[in-house]
């Protein structure tokens, strides 16, 4: 999948632009604070219809402006054009795919497809369980709309049950449980299956990044909850605790993805370099998963990640990303000499929100 055109209006500090995008992608070069990450954010926003930095839509609009508008034209996806408009006045977002309004935002997710690598991805390996659950949910939702639909319904049922528990409404809490079980089983089954399928690949990716020693990837959770029939007894066992706490303590919203290196938890014992390698390996698994399930090659969005790596890890990662055929790649760096030589891309210079196309250069 390749982005061919990007139009930006009212987004972050970016000046209005309509940019024709090279098939290979581009290297965004400029000093910190000039708008490189904002441009990458605009490129990735239509993938999941939210900021990859966790910002609310109102915070993405320029101060005092009416809102923002993004348009992406893509080749090889399920929509040729995705347009997103957000109004600051109404706080509403409108999404159209090939000129047709999407009444449900979930139907527009993943019509344009990319994988983003961020400097703070180290939290995927070293942070709390919530980081890894978000990783799994985003990736599996982009892979399979059945998962996305189940996830949305599960979250709604979970919120309703938790509210009922806090209000001491046992009848309402119990009424939420069939939907919680049905959708929770779909989520648990997909996560467990993905971990089983990707365990060896995770080890291979870490080895390819230069990490020695045995490594592992597993799922920490009640595997039996992949069967909806197991939920009633599990909920009854936790019923007293749930009532005391006013929340549901059973289900995939409590689970974790477990990473190991040299037989020890990576989160606890990994060095900064090892944690970064673990996070990059997860992103590479995301890339492989989306390619296999969607039947197309996602673009890559790399926000200044090479500056955080030593020379050997830079070389290995660049070789892995380039592969046999160059994927479309959008990469940012303050200077060209901070990019690996393998990433030979057209250059866009970014300064004070302005984007200027430069000559094709080798880093």
Q: Looking at the predicted structure, is the pLDDT value of residue 65 above 80?
A: yes
For residues 165-171, average pLDDT:
96
The per-residue pLDDT for range 52-64, each reduced to its tens digit, is 999 999 999 999 9
State what percent of residues in the chain have pLDDT above 90. Answer: 80
Q: What is the spatial distance between Cα 180 and Cα 186, in angstroms, rounded to a whole number?
A: 10
Q: Looking at the predicted structure, is the pLDDT value of residue 190 above 90?
A: yes
Could you tell me how many residues make up the chain?
Answer: 363
Q: How confident is the model at residue 327 (pLDDT cuts 50, 70, 90)?
A: confident
Q: Looking at the predicted structure, is the pLDDT value of residue 298 above 80?
A: yes
Specify the pLDDT at position 13: 96
What's the burial of 21, exposed, middle or buried (CB within 10 Å: 0-12/13-18/19+)?
buried
Q: Looking at the predicted structure, is the pLDDT value of residue 358 above 70?
A: no
Specify the pLDDT at position 363: 37
Q: How confident is the model at residue 326 (pLDDT cuts 50, 70, 90)?
A: low
User: Six-digit token pair at 23?
Assistant: 């098939």
The per-residue pLDDT for range 253-289, each reduced to its tens digit, is 999 999 999 889 999 999 988 999 999 999 999 999 9
Q: What is the 3-state secondary structure (H, E, C) of the chain?
A: CEEEEEEEECECCCCCEEEECCCCEEEEECCCCCCHHHHHHHHHHHHHCCCCCCCCHHHHECCCCCEEEEEEEEECCCCCEEEEEEECCCCCEEEEECCEECCCHHHCCCCCCEEEECHHHHHHHHCCHHHHHHHHHHHHHHHCHHHHHHHHHHHHHHHHHHHHHHCCCHHHHHHHHHHHHHHHHHHHHHHHHHHHHHHHHHHHHHHHCCCCCCEEEEEECCHHHHCHHHHHHHHHHCHHHHHHHCCCCCCHHHCEEEEEECCEEHHHHCCHHHHHHHHHHHHHHHHHHHHHHHCCCCEEEEECCHHHCCHHHHHHHHHHHHCCCCCCEEEEECCHHHCCCCCEEEEEEEECCEEEEEEEEEC
Which residue bears the tokens 């600051």? Answer: 88
For residues 193-222, average pLDDT:
93
User: Please, which residues have CB within 8 angstroms of residue 174's CB and are 6 or more apart in sequence?
Assistant: none
C-alpha distances (whole Å) from 353 to each of 12, 171, 287 are 8, 55, 29
Specify the pLDDT at position 193: 97
Which residue bears the tokens 């990994």? Answer: 270
Specify the pLDDT at position 273: 87
Q: What is the side-by-side strand order in the sheet with 100-101?
A: 17-20, 2-9, 67-75, 81-87, 93-97, 100-101
Specify the pLDDT at position 316: 86
For residues 84-103, average pLDDT:
95
Lowest mean pLDDT among 11-20, 179-188, 257-266: 257-266
User: Please, which residues have CB within 8 angstroms of residue 99's CB and are 6 or more apart in sequence?
Assistant: 81
The per-residue pLDDT for range 23-46, each reduced to its tens digit, is 999 999 999 999 999 999 999 999
Q: Looking at the predicted structure, is the pLDDT value of residue 362 above 50?
A: no
Domains and CATH numbers, the chain: 121-295 (1.20.1050.90)
Specify the pLDDT at position 323: 66
Q: Looking at the predicted structure, is the pLDDT value of residue 93 above 50?
A: yes
Terminal-residue alpha carbon distance, the chain = 24
Please report the sign of the dihedral spanned by the C-alpha atoms of residue 275, residue 278, residue 284, residue 285.
negative
The per-residue pLDDT for range 101-136, each reduced to its tens digit, is 998 989 999 999 999 999 899 999 999 999 999 999
Specify the pLDDT at position 247: 97
Spatial CA neighbour of 27 closest among 281, 353, 300? 300
For residues 292-313, average pLDDT:
89
Lowest mean pLDDT among 16-30, 49-63, 177-191, 304-318: 304-318
What rounded mean pLDDT belongs to the chain? 92
Q: What is the spatial distance between Cα 221 and Cα 191, in angstroms, rounded to a whole number?
A: 10
pTM attached to this predicted model? 0.91
- Using an 8 Å Cβ cutoff, are 120 and 127 in contact? no
Q: Looking at the predicted structure, is the pLDDT value of residue 186 above 70?
A: yes
Please report the sign of the dihedral spanned by the C-alpha atoms of residue 216, residue 219, residue 220, residue 223.
negative
| Residue of higher predicted confidence among 343 and 78 | 343
Specify the pLDDT at position 319: 83
For residues 166-180, average pLDDT:
97
Q: Looking at the predicted structure, is the pLDDT value of residue 343 above 90?
A: no
Q: How confident is the model at residue 139 (pLDDT cuts 50, 70, 90)?
A: very high
The per-residue pLDDT for range 315-325, each reduced to its tens digit, is 888 888 876 56
Specify the pLDDT at position 97: 94
User: Please, which residues have CB within 8 angstroms of residue 310's CB and are 6 or more apart in sequence?
Assistant: 273
């Amino acid at each position: 999948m390749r982005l061919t055109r990007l139009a930006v209006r009212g987004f972050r500090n970016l000046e209005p632009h309509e940019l024709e995008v090279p098939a290979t992608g581009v290297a965004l070069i400029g000093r910190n604070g000039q708008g490189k990450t904002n441009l990458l954010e605009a490129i990735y926003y239509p993938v999941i219809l939210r900021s990859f930095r966790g910002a609310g839509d109102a915070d993405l609009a320029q101060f005092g402006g009416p809102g923002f508008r993004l348009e992406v034209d893509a080749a090889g996806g399920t929509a040729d054009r995705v347009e997103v408009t957000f109004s600051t006045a109404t706080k509403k977002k409108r999404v159209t795919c090939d000129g047709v309004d999407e009444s449900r935002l979930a139907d527009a997710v993943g019509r344009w497809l990319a994988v983003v690598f961020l400097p703070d991805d180290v939290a995927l390996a070293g942070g709390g369980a919530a980081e890894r659950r978000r990783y799994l949910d985003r990736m599996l939702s982009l892979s399979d709309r059945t998962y996305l639909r189940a996830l949305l319904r599960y979250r709604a049922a979970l919120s309703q049950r938790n509210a009922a528990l806090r209000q001491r409404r046992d009848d309402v809490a119990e009424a939420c449980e069939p939907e919680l079980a049905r959708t929770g089983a779909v989520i648990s089954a997909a996560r467990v299956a993905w971990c089983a399928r990707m365990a060896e690949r995770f080890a291979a990716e870490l080895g390819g990044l230069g990490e020695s020693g045995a490594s592992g990837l597993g799922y920490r959770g009640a595997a039996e909850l992949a069967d909806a029939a197991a939920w009633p007894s599990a909920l009854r066992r936790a019923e007293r605790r749930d009532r005391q706490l006013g929340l549901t303590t059973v289900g995939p919203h409590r689970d974790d993805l477990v990473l190991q290196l040299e037989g020890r938890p990576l989160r606890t014992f990994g060095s900064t370099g090892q944690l970064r390698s673990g996070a990059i390996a997860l992103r590479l698994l995301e890339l492989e998963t989306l390619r296999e399930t969607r039947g197309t090659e996602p673009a890559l969005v790399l926000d200044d990640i090479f500056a955080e790596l030593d020379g050997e890890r830079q070389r290995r990662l660049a070789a892995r990303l380039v592969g046999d055929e160059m994927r479309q790649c959008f990469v940012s760096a303050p200077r060209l000499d901070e990019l690996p030589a393998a990433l030979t891309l057209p250059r866009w210079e970014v300064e004070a929100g302005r984007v200027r196309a430069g000559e094709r250069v080798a880093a």
